[in-house]
Amino acid sequence: MKNHKPKNAFRKGAITTEFIANSIAKHQVKTSIGAHNIFLGQVRADEINAKKVAAIDYTAHEDMANLKFHEIREAAFLRFDLSCMHIYHSIGNVNAGEICLFVFVSSKRRKEVFPAIEFIVEEIKAKVPIFGKEIFNDQSHQWKVNS
């Protein structure tokens, strides 16, 4: 179902596997859907100068971020023949191994979902004002920059 109302994409803390399972289950009544594609961003325990990332503390310019999420959603619906699209991003603390980004697209046909998911993820990385403080296991930190 297309949803063109701006909404709040932020979820406090990690995105749980139960939340993801629930989102998938909700789409099983939509029997015109033939293909789903899901992207999950997971916090890596990167080692930087012998210190390990234990968590990322996410902050954002939330109003601007939600507007950008909305614009990305609209652009994706224009470019691709999608039945549904959902974007969720964590705000606050997410531990290494936990999920911080959940992008979910659905379409009648599989050919649409592959370019759509990549487009959305790349747009999020480039255009949404979200900031990540990488907290090391010794409680020191550095600021994450997307590559």
Partner 1 sequence: MMITIRYFGLLTEVTGCTSEKINFSGTTIFDVKEVLFQKYKTLKNKDFQVAQNNELNTDKTKITSTEIALLPPFAGG
Q: Does 22 bind a second copy (CB under 8 A)?
A: yes
Angle at 18 between CA 115 and CA 21, to 5 degrees: 45
CB of 11 vs partner 1, minimal distance in Å: 13
Q: Does 14 bind partner 1 (CB under 8 A)?
A: no
Q: Which of residues 60-119 bind partner 1 (CB under 8 A)?
A: 60-61, 63-65, 67-68, 89, 100-101, 110
Residue 70 interaction partner, one of a second copy, partner 1, none, beta carbon < 5-8 Å per kind? none
User: What are the helix (H) ranges across the chain?
Assistant: 17-26, 62-79, 110-127
Q: Which of 20, 54, 96, 121 binds partner 1 (CB under 8 A)?
A: 121
Site string for partner 1, 27-56 (x = CB under 8 A): --------------x---------------
Q: Are 129 and 65 in contact (CB under 8 A)?
A: yes
Q: Does 67 bind a second copy (CB under 8 A)?
A: no
Of 147, 52, 40, 39, the closest CA to residue 100 belongs to: 40
Q: Are 103 and 116 in contact (CB under 8 A)?
A: no
> Which one of the spans 21-29, 45-53, 78-86, 127-135 is the region binding partner 1 (CB under 8 A)?
127-135
Q: Are 76 and 82 in contact (CB under 8 A)?
A: yes
